[in-house]
Structure 1
Amino acid sequence: MTPPARIGLFGLLGSGNLGNDGSFEAVLGYLRAEHPGAALSVMCGGPEIVASRYGLETTALNWYEGEYRTASGPLSIALKGFGKLVDIFRTIAWVRRQDVVIVPGMGVLESTLPLRPWGFPYALLLLSASGRLVGTKVALVSVGANVSTQRVTRSIIRWAARLATFRSYRDEPSRDAMRTMGVDVTDDRVYPDLAFALPTPSEPVVPRSVGVGVMAYHGGNDDRARADAIYESYVDNMTRFIAGLVADGRPVRLFIGDRADEQVVDEIMRELDSPLITAAETSTLDDVLRAMSAVETVVATRYHNVLCALKLAKPTLSVGYARKNEVLMTTLGLGEFCQSAREIDVDALVRQFAELESRAGELTEIAAKRGAEQARLLEAQFAELSAAFLPMGVR
């Protein structure tokens, strides 16, 4: 009798980022449907949450629990350094127990937001190197990437990608970025973001309602000195835009994409203090999809908030922090409705929103058609993964 396939899933999962968890849920749904007998294990940032929510065996991504907090003294610095050594052996041991490890989407090859090279990039490098060492296949599936401006980060990401067995990207610029960074992408494919494979809910729509996805945006890696000013400007401009919606009698539903964004929701609600503003209670991307299906139009910053709106075929306006938002919007037919989160022009945003609503019927039809195609492409990718890595159950 053929033993069940041993499949590992790896990433910053259960750590508060709803997009990451949504990508994971899409792959988990595929594995449970197509490979129901597989033995699944997860190495992740939030093992307790993942274990309780999905009923899976989990292992902590890092030995040191304070890995992603800023070191506050000599002891924490020493523990972080020691943890890096311990994690080498922990990662090898976990990878050795798997037949294949899947990194489910996410921007694992990106550095568009503040990122330390010895944080997750290092963990990803350990994964890929461990796979090569013990003969376990590592698949980076529909991941995001960009060209890092930090030399050490760029080098670590490049080697993490090079050592993986399989790579696919969620858009063409991601593949181009890895080519620029020195990775041979000849055999690498581009498929949609994994969240397009999630079920699409449908709730009664509140007339004239607007969903606004906000973010605790502090700029990127090169903006650390200006982070507070960037954050304050972003929150102020989004608050001004929402105030205009409220003045027009519009019900506004606020959305987050990460636990860190809750502070922005609190600030906006406290500043405007209006019964027309509510905050969607969401702990998963499925929650976001369900709550967002009840609004008419969406204005959002985080990539997966924008994706959820487009998946639901909502007229959508992106106030994005990276090129990936613009690429996604263009792919779904709404490329002209974009602004930069770094320098929001509120007056222009109001004009764009008015045009968005005036063309709602046309844009909804386009987004629905293109969204369905994204889901079909992901079915093809899942079939490719099964054929490449799981035809007989084990290596």
Structure 2
Amino acid sequence: MRVGIVGWFGSDNLGDEMLLRSLITCVRSVEPQASFVVLCPDPERVTRLHEVDSIHMPTLRGGPGTRERQSTAQRALRECDVLCLGPGTVFQERSHNLPWPGTLPLFARIVGMARAAGTPVAVTGAAVREGGTPFGRQLLRGIGAACTAIGVRDARSAGYFGRSAQVIGDMAYTLPLPQLQPQESAQKRFGVSMRPLADGVEGPLIAAIGGCTERLLSDGWSGQFLSMAYGRGAQGENDTTIYEREFSRTMDLAPSPLDTDGPLSASLDRWLTTLAGNQLVLGTRLHAALLAVALGVPTVAIAYERKVNDAFVDLGLERHVVQPDVDAATLHRVAMETAAARDEFHKAAMRVADQGVVSRSFVASVLRGLKK
């Protein structure tokens, strides 16, 4: 079986790379001999990290290599038994660094190319960024109508596609987790995930996180910064710029799995083990927060986008969510309440595991449907 996957992979965002690894793992659990081709912005990087074939997405705009990319994508789609759209927030009309109409025309074109090649298409753990227009909603309905199966991350995204859409949760919930040995440490450690944000939001939030971490450090905690993205080819996405400017004097920088030139798998397990060693995480990046919860680590989610809030509400953790305009005193109070709620997060970790079963079942049903 040949499986195509299309998404924003290879841009050095750890969340996206974890999602791709999760989907590949789910497919291989059903079809161990499956091969893959990933349509993405940086094929060379994806091949190194995941050891699969990858090609450039076809571009909508003219320029050098446009015709070659188009023909390469057409040939690749003809060879696929199924094309998976996602996982991740692949359907975006705009963001703070993405002009309208965003990714929607590109994904509509890829779906049209797959249909012309006779290749069925399945939305797989994808999501829609908020803030869409009537044009975008119409285009999403057209994409959904062309798909044989629609499995989306959350109920809000499902609403764009209609009754045929299934909510399967975040594909990161299926990520294989390392076997952890119980560890007792006299010193408590916290992790911070902070991404670049829009002007007017970033400054006050950095002040709040800085004030909270200062109090934690004065109380004897140690801290580490979790850089989730280097922003390869994506302006305003490099988390280390925040670390170097704001936090390098007060906490260590945790090694990133993205620092490897080889496969992601071994370095990712080491990163997850390090993440599990925290007694508290403060996270803006969705997948820093979700993977911490999956490991049972008490986590405060900073909801810079609706998807962060929605994910924690779905897990029954809404009291551990703060908004980006939170002040330092409130953030510290919520952090202390969260750190004391370990039993609550152990239960949430079990809910994550249950949701992972739903995601894996959806992928299995898509693959089984190809054989009917």
Shorter-chain-normalised TM-score: which range?
Answer: 0.7 to 0.9
Whether 1:159 and 2:142 are equivalent positions in the alignment is: yes
Whether 1:169 and 2:152 are equivalent positions in the alignment is: yes
Whether 1:262 and 2:243 are equivalent positions in the alignment is: no
Aligned to 1:70: none
Cα offsets for 1:19-43 (capped at 9, x unmatched): 1111110111122232122232111
Distance in 2, Cα, partners of 1:156 & 1:256: 34
Residues 124-203 of structure 1 mapped to structure 2, 5 A cutoff: 124-150=107-133, 153-176=136-159, 178=160, 183=161, 185-201=162-178, 202=180
Contact kept, 8 Å, 1:92 with 1:127, in 2: the verdict is no
Change in 2 beyond 3 A, CA 1:61/1:290: farther
Code of the residue aligned with 1:216 in structure 2: it is: P
Distance in 1, Cα, partners of 2:104 & 2:20: 18
Change in 2 beyond 3 A, CA 1:348/1:111: farther
Aligned to 1:93: 75
Whether 1:116 and 2:75 are equivalent positions in the alignment is: no
Change in 2 beyond 3 A, CA 1:354/1:255: same
Q: CA deviation at 1:262?
A: 1.2
Distance in 2, Cα, partners of 1:289 & 1:352: 24
Structure 2: gaps spanning 5 or more residues: 231-237, 259-263
**3-state SS of paired residue (1:245):** helix
Aligned to 2:252: 278
Contact kept, 8 Å, 2:58 with 2:70, in 1: the verdict is no
TM-score under structure 1 length normalisation: 0.81
Q: CA deviation at 1:317?
A: 0.7
Q: CA deviation at 1:318?
A: 0.5
Aligned to 2:37: 41
TM-score under structure 2 length normalisation: 0.86
Distance in 1, Cα, partners of 2:85 & 2:273: 25
Change in 2 beyond 3 A, CA 1:144/1:286: farther
Aligned to 2:7: 11
Contact kept, 8 Å, 2:125 with 2:359, in 1: the verdict is no
Change in 2 beyond 3 A, CA 1:57/1:368: closer
Code of the residue aligned with 1:242 in structure 2: it is: T
Code of the residue aligned with 2:42 in structure 1: it is: G
Q: Bigger CA drift: 133-142 or 147-156? A: 147-156
Change in 2 beyond 3 A, CA 1:136/1:106: same
Cα offsets for 1:151-188 (capped at 9, x unmatched): 55555444333333321111212212x0xxxx4x2222
Whether 1:24 and 2:5 are equivalent positions in the alignment is: no
Aligned to 2:321: 338
**3-state SS of paired residue (1:229):** coil
Contact kept, 8 Å, 1:14 with 1:45, in 2: the verdict is yes
Q: CA deviation at 1:286?
A: 4.7
> Which of 237, 242, 248 pairs up with 2:213?
242
Question: Percent of counterpart pairs with the same letter?
Answer: 22
Code of the residue aligned with 2:189 in structure 1: it is: S
Contact kept, 8 Å, 1:95 with 1:127, in 2: the verdict is no
Code of the residue aligned with 2:103 in structure 1: it is: F
Residues 200-219 of structure 1 mapped to structure 2, 5 A cutoff: 200-201=177-178, 202=180, 204=183, 206=185, 207-218=187-198
Code of the residue aligned with 1:165 in structure 2: it is: T
Change in 2 beyond 3 A, CA 1:93/1:384: same
Change in 2 beyond 3 A, CA 1:238/1:156: farther
Distance in 2, Cα, partners of 1:339 & 1:135: 46
Distance in 2, Cα, partners of 1:6 & 1:365: 38
Distance in 2, Cα, partners of 1:83 & 1:190: 40
Cα offsets for 1:276-315 (capped at 9, x unmatched): x111111266554232111111110111111111111111
Distance in 2, Cα, partners of 1:369 & 1:205: 22
Code of the residue aligned with 1:257 in structure 2: it is: M
Aligned to 1:374: 355
Aligned to 1:313: 296
**3-state SS of paired residue (1:107):** strand
Aligned to 1:322: 305
Q: CA deviation at 1:18?
A: 1.2
**CA RMSD across the alignment:** 2.5
